[in-house]
Amino acid sequence: MKARQKRLVFVGLAVVGVGAAATLALSALQSNIAYFFSPTQVLANEHPGDAVFRVGGLVVDDTLKRQQDGLTVRFDVTDNAATVPVSYTGILPDLFGEGQGVVAKGRIGNDGVFYAEEVLAKHDESYMPPEVADTLQTAHVDGVIDATTRSLSQTEGAGR
């Protein structure tokens, strides 16, 4: 083989190697992607069938229930327009609580319950995950009055 042919073979192998590495990297990233859906979108079946995805909103007051095993909890997540029941087995974050913002990653079951593999809660008093804030804002803009606004208007009406 001439030197020129050797260089062409080397360049060809390098291109194939880079292409293979890029394909492996993209397939690894694709398997770790979890898209975000609001409870409204979940109830409208806009979520993927049996793929992992994230759902977020506010934990509905008085829905947090511990199961007999002590590790499994059930609670409802709302965007103030729709509510999705969630089941999670594991230790909840310290800042998790009713009325707080939450994002759960998992799959929807045949029974309509979202089975979470991971639950993330806001990390301080003023922070809300951007997806949750957008979802709540969209629900409010679409004409749904959130519980805070409703309770404020009831308080104002009682004072008159």
Are 94 and 122 spatial neighbours (Cβ–Cβ below 8 Å)? no
CA–CA dist 56, 136 (Å, integer): 10
**Residues whose CB is less than 8 angstroms from the CB of residue 60 and which lie 6 or more positions away in sequence, other chains included:** 75, 76, 77, 78, 83, 98
Could you tell me which residues are beta bridge partners of residue 87? 74, 115
Residue 46 has φ and ψ, to the nearest 5°, of -90, -5
Residue 127 assigned to a binding site: yes
Residue 123 assigned to a binding site: yes
Known binding residues: 123, 127
Known binding residues for heme: 123, 127
